[in-house]
Structure 1
């Protein structure tokens, strides 16, 4: 009900603007690159200089920054006239957008003109509340006003430790995606062309998160960088709502009209349909193929088609087609006859001639790992309804939504809000809970002078129990080996201290010791050894047997020289700049610089002598977990939770190679010191040698 009421402005007295702090905040150094500045083509003059507390068009007061992109920034605002919170999407100035600026607005206009208000898919498409142009110092900027939404499905996916959507949550998301596509295709004649987990967002069912956002910005304003002509703010996330709304399909910047013929290249590369690759005429069915590839991604935890070319080591259409052939077989001749580029990849007989081998044939049954039995059959049946070479053989969005297989996945009309909240809290439940058998329950803390020390012992005990409770018993072989060693030591202690007979080994040791003594007569030469043998002075009682001499020599040899005193280690410098936990560090072999990787998805290169930031590398889409600098080449290797392993050329500051293969996050990597060999390891339980 709350999300429904937010759509309509209230006729009562308008809200008054509220005050936000203008001085009591942390200032980010001017030379530090943050937020949209990290984008490759960033130019400050393109962006509208938004200020928190500013009232735009005498109606929308900016509360805080929600995010940014290559073409826009998104802000939470108070609709003073409508007495509600909204999201403002402020685009870069119109001269930089060209015809793309009007495209998204035209799609919303068509939805309003053609779409029925009573279609069930209307609410599954993001609503446009208002649009206008605002004048900036460097030109006009288009502003779109939407209801605020929570996380995207992609961000929501990263909150789950296994990086996969559970079956009931997937069913709820698909239900609304099919409704949205049915509304767009049949009511509005619109093809989305860019369906991915990042463009499906979850609604918000209560207003408490907006009030909390406001109060937090007033109490604890986020750090910002203040420049002469603008202020660049850090983004703040909306809190976890008490109730989640339904999934909503967003971002119509790449959408096209479906009632005209199309042959242009669209869609994300790994989701690209065969008719788009071959430049054959395409229609609404490319969205169906797109959904099929995305579903596999978010449910199975990896791409269905990679399109990774073995020669160029990057995405290429011929590799993508080869992947399709391995899974779906040869394409039909009717499809090839319509493609402008078919002759580039196929012979007249329909045989693949892309210049690379086709992978070994594989089936969906072989690569599906989450389901069993009837559930698996129904899921794969639904996938085959979407993944067909021939577009006419793919089911429509309405047919998919009404299909028995899709309905069977819903599991008795799941409450998507409760399932999503449960899934989002899964990390906390996994990693923050205390085991039932924790010794903490057996401890009784008393308030005495040693309470601090006792608490530390308690905490250590809990951590040890939680981390090592499965490793408290040694493997049988190692336990037997240690038992044998302990038994031998006990027997040696019980033997009487009788004078043993000399043996050849003792005689050799005696000669060795005497030889050392003979080589150091008179004056003692300075030694650089860490451990020196201390010889008794003349006239001292010395052992008479070779065994005793050897034991004495060994005991004296263990006496280390007293080290020279030096001042304690001192903290030289504190370097800040990352916006997330620093997870990886690597120092360049020549001691000129070092690199750091963090949860903000960036890699920063720092000058080792001064601590100044030299460079920021962007490319990972999740936390950077490992770094390694090559001692033989000007290369930096990185890995992250996005399953990516990258090789950066530090002469051009760009990625020159990707290593594909890990099925989950990559958490560590190491370089061979003398060979061109890279080793990586990740959460998929595999170590890969490259």
Structure 2
């Protein structure tokens, strides 16, 4: 039976009860490996389980600190969907609020909304076990392919070519600009894992193949008890389509953003104003785009910011790395956070050597970037790498950067 979301089996099938690897009880896997994990935090999804009287789970797509994600098929609409099940009692209203704003946003003459993952619905799930009772929010999304992170992890040399990145980056900028210009939303968590490849109509049979694989090669699992099984994730096939912007669990409305000291952004992706506990605005997303770009092209974050033993995140080291690549910050920047500034700079704006400034440049760090017109790329990249948020261009302005326009034949040369 064909559908808009792949080829569905005509009738539900009984999943194999044998033939899978049972992971040893002493081994930690999947969500167990994450900080803060405890039994009962995650909803104990079972393959074949039916949610909301319509969504039958056929396989595990992935996991994170706040949720697990599953492929299911919808008996009402005859299509595959992705179910994102949040951890217990997480009061995560941000993602739903973000989608409300996106639904209300004016999309006329702006293609950005088509580059953002759609929300198909949501519901609550209650869990009752020997560990107690809990409630879990579940979001229903269109199913997608692998994320940029998964693609990087699969494909040596674990970095993208400039020619590949250009169309991807253009879509990223257009999508983020829609958040800013039309929906009044700051994403605040842009990272390579949150850009997931769309699936072309011709490729949607991959979802049925994913389900069928559970019958021919059942995924390994760890059986904790009769009521709790941890399944391993199965990789989705590669997709030829460009990525969509996903995961709005850390979004902020323009009206509520800017609180100094608020813990936003992934550690190594943090903008300087966030590290320094200054007021911040939507330009943190522009900084994040730069971090995503660099990670995609080199396979590693631009900044390390960790202690010598690699065990802790150290803001002093992080800021020293920024000084090395961007030069000393202007006094206008330092004046915005007196307490933090005094810890790192003297009254004349000179670095106190609380951490050594490394001998690095963008060109040295990016020596292995592959592709034509690296000089044009570095000019483009440095536009985003600015101390003062107001000096960073908007995403719309970056879309029309000469380096990005060259691929369209609208710039000087190629």
TM over 0.5: yes
Matched residues in 2 for 1:222 and 1:300: separation? 32
Aligned residue among 100, 103, 112 for 2:94: 103
Residues 409, 348 of structure 1: alpha-carbon distance in 2 compared, 3 angstrom cutoff: farther
The equivalent residue for 1:60 is: 55
- Displacement of 1:249 in angstroms is 1.3
Matched residues in 2 for 1:162 and 1:63: separation? 33
**1:337-360 deviations in Å (ceiling 9; x for gaps):** 112422221122111125233234
- Displacement of 1:158 in angstroms is 2.1
Matched residues in 1 for 2:366 and 2:235: separation? 34
Native 8 Å contact 2:162 2:371 kept in 1: no
Alignment of 1:109-148 (within 5 A): 109-116=100-107, 119-137=110-128, 138-148=133-143
**1:287-329 deviations in Å (ceiling 9; x for gaps):** 1111112212221343322223459874311111111112211
- Displacement of 1:16 in angstroms is 6.1
Comparing 142-151 with 246-255, greater Cα deviation is found at 246-255
Native 8 Å contact 1:15 1:80 kept in 2: no
Matched residues in 1 for 2:207 and 2:105: separation? 33
- Give the aligned CA root-mean-square deviation in angstroms: 2.7
Native 8 Å contact 2:278 2:336 kept in 1: yes
Alignment of 1:164-243 (within 5 A): 164-205=159-200, 206-226=203-223, 227-241=225-239
**1:639-686 deviations in Å (ceiling 9; x for gaps):** xxxxxxxxxxxxxxxxxxxxxxxxxxxxxxxxxxxxxxxxxxxxxxxx
The equivalent residue for 1:252 is: 248
Residues 410, 174 of structure 1: alpha-carbon distance in 2 compared, 3 angstrom cutoff: farther
Native 8 Å contact 1:209 1:240 kept in 2: no
The TM-score with structure 2 as length reference comes to 0.88
The equivalent residue for 1:155 is: 150
The equivalent residue for 2:18 is: 24
Residues 36, 300 of structure 1: alpha-carbon distance in 2 compared, 3 angstrom cutoff: closer
**1:207-247 deviations in Å (ceiling 9; x for gaps):** 21111122222333333344222232222222345xx2221
**Structure 1 counterpart SS, 2:255:** coil
In structure 2, list runs of 5 or more residues that go unmatched.
none
Rg comparison, structure with higher value: 1
Residues 385, 19 of structure 1: alpha-carbon distance in 2 compared, 3 angstrom cutoff: same
- Displacement of 1:391 in angstroms is 1.1
Comparing 58-67 with 251-260, greater Cα deviation is found at 251-260
The equivalent residue for 2:314 is: 316
Matched residues in 2 for 1:218 and 1:373: separation? 42
**1:397-440 deviations in Å (ceiling 9; x for gaps):** 0000122212225679xxxxxxxxxxxxxxxxxxxxxxxxxxxx
Matched residues in 1 for 2:299 and 2:229: separation? 39
Tell me if 1:262 matches 2:253: no
- Displacement of 1:177 in angstroms is 0.7
The TM-score with structure 1 as length reference comes to 0.54
In structure 1, list runs of 5 or more residues that go unmatched.
8-13, 413-690
Matched residues in 1 for 2:33 and 2:356: separation? 39
Residues 411, 42 of structure 1: alpha-carbon distance in 2 compared, 3 angstrom cutoff: farther
Residues 81, 158 of structure 1: alpha-carbon distance in 2 compared, 3 angstrom cutoff: same
Native 8 Å contact 1:379 1:405 kept in 2: yes
**Structure 1 counterpart SS, 2:373:** helix
**1:66-86 deviations in Å (ceiling 9; x for gaps):** 112222111100111111100
Residues 197, 364 of structure 1: alpha-carbon distance in 2 compared, 3 angstrom cutoff: same
- Displacement of 1:6 in angstroms is 4.2
Matched residues in 1 for 2:370 and 2:229: separation? 54
Alignment of 1:495-510 (within 5 A): none
- Displacement of 1:15 in angstroms is 8.3
Alignment of 1:343-382 (within 5 A): 343-360=342-359, 362-370=360-368, 375-382=373-380
Name the structure, 1 or 2, with higher relative contact order (CA <8 Å, separation 6+): 2
